[in-house]
Structure formats: C-alpha cells, structure tokens
C-alpha cells in the first residue's frame, strides 16, 4: 500500500493514527532577525552610530569607522562582559553546593570514605563545576551576541589551531634556527 509522505508522520508502528504536537514556527525570517538585531544594537550603542555629515548612509561614523565592524566588536565585548559577570558571580555558589554535597556524603558514609577518596571527589567536583559554568558562560555570551549582531560569533576562549603545510626535519629546523 502506498502512503503519502504527509500521512507517514501520523502512522505509528501499531497502525493507529496519532496526533502530533503543534510545532513552533519561527517568529521572523532571518532578514527580520538581522534588522531587529541592528535596531537593538543602535539603541544600545547610539553614541557609536552617531551620524555625522551624511557619512552614516555610506556606513561610516563621524570618525570614519565602519559601523558594522564597530557594532560587532561592541556587541562581542558586551557579551563577554555579561557572561563574565555571571560566571564570577555564580561560581562560588556552585562550588559551595558541590562541597556541601561531598561533605554530606562523607558524613553519612563515614566507614566507607577515605581521605584520598575525599580529595579525588573534591577535585572531580571542582572540575565538573568549572565545566558546567563554562558551558553557561558560552550560552549567555552567544545569546547576547546574537541579540545585538544576529549571529552567535566565535568563542573568545576557544583556540583555533591549524596544521602547518610543510613538515620540517630536525636538520632543516637547526639550519633555519642558525645552528
């Protein structure tokens, strides 16, 4: 039996038709998202976009700086500051929670817990908390950046490396270094 693609979504393995939940549609197209981000950026950074002698129509401010690049730089800085404030404010709270959890476990299981095990648990908990806070930092930074620029942008703390094209032998390296 041939079934259309539209009906295939409604048929389950039991053969019964199941009603699916309504799916959210985007509020605006990508074009509107960029326009909205531009308006929010102009409202926030209005001194940067101060038009002078007709240069704003050409995309430059009074000092001759490209408005788009300035907007992106200002938005990235604001996003990093906002996320950094959240990170430094909430890290001690999260660490206290983690420590109290470990201490509670140690109190209830006194006979089973060793000093070495406690040290390991504390280190593991600290690393877990840092990782969790870093993920929250990145989420806040990308949302703030997207609010003002329309794109998430690059993570400023991530290192991007590239391989070198030519592999040197030790003899060539010594020659290049002057040995």
What pTM was computed for the model?
0.57
Highest mean pLDDT among 3-12, 32-41, 52-61, 98-107: 98-107
State the Cα–Cα distance between residues 136 and 130, nearest whole angstrom. 10
Cβ neighbours, 10 Å, residue 144: 20
Taking only the tens place, the pLDDT of each residue in 18-31 is 666 777 776 666 66
Domain assignment present for residue 178? The answer is: no
Domain assignment present for residue 155? The answer is: no
Number of domains in the chain: 1
- Which structural domain range is residue 96 located in? 28-150
Domain assignment present for residue 127? The answer is: yes
> Is-contact 121 101, C-beta < 8 A?
no
Domain assignment present for residue 21? The answer is: no
Domain assignment present for residue 50? The answer is: yes
pLDDT at 57 over 60: no
Domain assignment present for residue 119? The answer is: yes
pLDDT of residue 74: 82
Share of the chain above pLDDT 90, in %: 27
List C-alpha distances in Å: 146 to 32, 65, 84, 142.
13, 22, 16, 6
> Is-contact 55 61, C-beta < 8 A?
yes
Taking only the tens place, the pLDDT of each residue in 120-164 is 999 999 999 999 999 999 999 999 888 888 878 777 777 777 776
Domain assignment present for residue 76? The answer is: yes
> Is-contact 82 144, C-beta < 8 A?
yes
């Amino acid at each position: 039996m041939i079934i259309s693609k539209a009906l295939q979504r409604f048929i389950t393995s039991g053969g019964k038709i199941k009603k699916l939940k309504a799916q959210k549609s985007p509020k605006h197209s990508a074009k509107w998202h960029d326009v909205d981000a531009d308006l929010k950026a102009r409202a926030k950074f209005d001194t940067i976009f101060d038009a002078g002698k007709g240069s704003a129509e050409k995309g430059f401010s009074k000092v001759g700086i490209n408005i788009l690049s300035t907007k992106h730089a200002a938005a990235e800085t604001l996003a990093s500051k906002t996320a950094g404030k959240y990170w430094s404010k909430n890290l001690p709270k999260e660490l206290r929670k983690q420590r109290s959890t470990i201490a509670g476990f140690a109190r209830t299981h006194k006979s089973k817990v060793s000093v070495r095990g406690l040290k390991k648990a504390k280190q593991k908990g600290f690393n877990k908390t840092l990782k969790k806070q870093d993920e929250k930092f990145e989420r806040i930074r990308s949302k703030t950046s997207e609010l003002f620029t329309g794109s998430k942008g690059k993570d400023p703390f991530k290192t991007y490396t590239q391989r070198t094209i030519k592999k040197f032998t030790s003899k060539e390296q010594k020659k290049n270094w002057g040995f």
